[in-house]
Amino acid sequence: MTADLQSVIEKLVSGGDITREEIILLLENRNEEIKTYLAQKASAVARKYYGNKVFVRGLIEFTNYCKNDCYYCGIRCSNKNASRYRLTREEILECASHGYDLGFRTIVLQGGEDAYFKDDLIADIVKSIKSEHPDCAVTLSIGEKSFESYKKFFDAGADRYLLRHETADAEHYAKLHPSNLSSENRKQCLFNLKKIGFQTGAGFMVGSPYQTTGNIADDLLFLKKLDPEMIGIGPFIPHKETPFADMTAGTLELTLFLLSIIRLMLPTVLLPATTALGTIDPRGRELGILAGANVVMPNLSPVSVRKKYDLYDNKICTGEEAAECMNCLKRRIESIGYEIVTDRGDNVRYVKEH
Ligand code: 5AD
Ligand code: FES
């Protein structure tokens, strides 16, 4: 190993800031030894702040209508073969209560950008969940909205918001999205969310089409600058009815390495081992935890609509009831010496500050 590479690794492990060039050096020269070392250090950092606890989030995918046309996504508006659904307000509240009974203390409402769900309706749903289950955190993941809309959701009681930045590079962004969407607006949304007071989540797909090592370095530096409470990364997986049907999927190997780097760069961040990671490898989520992740997000949506929230091919857990996924995950997490906890699971930084 060169002295340069060695010093980058030591800097990362000791919590120092690494530069774009250093990240690229690390990515281009990674080997088994480095990956194992960083995974050990990263999982030790996660254990320092969160013990051997893994937080669960109950995900309700409440609509797959979407006005956007992102080239990678199976529910893009141009996919005429997508079978569209939206849950009613009552169905959403029922799912949330079922999740509560199963032990979930964070409910994530995720959906496409669906004009049917006007701000007031979203605010009303958030308010209802919060008043029925005051000890639950509510997370929204419903895309790009105005500052005023975000503020409305926050005032209604929403605690957190997930909006992956997808890629920090404007040119790369333009290769993944039609021209009405911009990386600039995406980032502005994230800064607005933070300003309003949301615990905010950003992130990107690993191995998305046209992604370069330089892009990944920029993504990591953007995350460091934004300093979000949560970061979602998972491998890109092609969907057969999108323009990227024939593109290559992201790898387990690179995703795990990036999870370790992210944990070391942002020590207290809440970092899920995503469903996409579990989809490209049967033990993907367990390996994600061992690489430094500390969150899993099983699905709470009714089984009747599960298959329809079809962002990418072969998504796991589309036939299982929420209780089955909860038990399955419990077993998986315990098999690697961790435990699932019933807790809101806030970022420790947030817990200290509030
Ligand atoms: N493969 C992997 N992840 C995807 N997402 C959307 N489409 C795909 C795909 N084909 C991710 C995006 C989005 C999140 C909800 O799902 O990063 O932000
Ligand atoms: Fe859903 Fe294992 S987590 S079946």
What string of DSSP letters covers 133-164?
-TT-EEEEE-----HHHHHHHHHTT--EEE--
Which are the contacts of 28, defined by CB distance < 8 A and separation ≥ 6? 213
How far, in Å, from the CA of 72 to the mean position of ligand 1? 7
Segment (H or E) for 289: helix 284-290
Q: Strand, helix or coil at 166?
A: strand
240 ligand 1 Cβ < 6 A = no
How far, in Å, from the CA of 339 to the mean position of ligand 1? 27
pLDDT of amino acid 56: 97
pLDDT of amino acid 354: 54
pLDDT of amino acid 58: 97
Substitution site in 60, 76, 241, 312 for ligand 1 pocket (most atoms within 8 Å of beta carbon): 312
Inter-residue contact 59 to 298 (CB < 8 Å): yes
Which residues make beta-bridge pairs with 204?
166, 233
pLDDT of amino acid 349: 82
pTM score of the predicted model: 0.97
Segment (H or E) for 49: helix 32-50
321-352 residue pLDDT tens = 999 999 999 999 999 999 999 899 999 987 66
Alpha carbon 220 to its chain's center: 14
**Residue with CA closest to ligand 1 atom 2:** 236
pLDDT of amino acid 291: 98
CB count within 10 Å of CB 102 equals 18
pLDDT tier at 1, thresholds 50, 70, 90: confident
Mean pLDDT of 241-248: 98
Q: Which two tokens stand for residue 32?
A: 């088994």
Question: Does position 353 have pLDDT exceeding 90, yes or no?
Answer: no
- Here the CATH number for the domain that contains residue 285 is 3.20.20.70
DSSP string, 105-133: -EEEEEE---TTS-HHHHHHHHHHHHHH-
How far is residue 184 from each of residues 166, 168, 191, 222, measured CA to CA in Å?
Answer: 12, 9, 11, 12
Instruction: Report the distance separating Cα 67 and Cα 69, nearest Å.
Output: 7
The position carrying tokens 């070392």 is: 37
176 ligand 2 Cβ < 6 A = no
Closest ligand 2 atom, residue 296 Cα: 3
205 ligand 1 Cβ < 6 A = yes
237 ligand 1 Cβ < 6 A = yes
Q: What is the mean pLDDT of the chain?
A: 97
Mean pLDDT of 138-161: 98
How far, in Å, from the CA of 329 to the mean position of ligand 2? 6
How far, in Å, from the CA of 273 to the mean position of ligand 1? 14
Total count of domains within the chain: 1
164 ligand 1 Cβ < 6 A = yes
In what side-by-side order are the strands of the sheet with 230-235? 58-63, 106-111, 137-141, 160-162, 199-206, 230-235
How far is residue 161 from each of residues 107, 153, 189, 296, measured CA to CA in Å?
Answer: 11, 10, 10, 16
247 ligand 1 Cβ < 6 A = no
How far, in Å, from the CA of 278 to the mean position of ligand 2? 9
**Residue with CA closest to ligand 2 atom 1:** 325
65-115 residue pLDDT tens = 999 999 999 999 999 999 999 999 999 999 999 999 999 999 999 999 999
CB count within 10 Å of CB 28 equals 9
**Structural domain span for residue 73:** 3-353
pLDDT tier at 249, thresholds 50, 70, 90: very high
Residues making up the chain, counted from first to last: 354
Across the chain, the runs of DSSP E, i.e. the strands, are 53-56, 58-63, 106-111, 137-141, 160-162, 199-206, 230-235, 295-296, 339-341
Substitution site in 324, 333, 340 for ligand 2 pocket (most atoms within 8 Å of beta carbon): 324
170-209 residue pLDDT tens = 999 999 999 999 999 999 999 999 999 999 999 999 999 9
pLDDT of amino acid 352: 60
pLDDT of amino acid 350: 72
pLDDT tier at 25, thresholds 50, 70, 90: very high
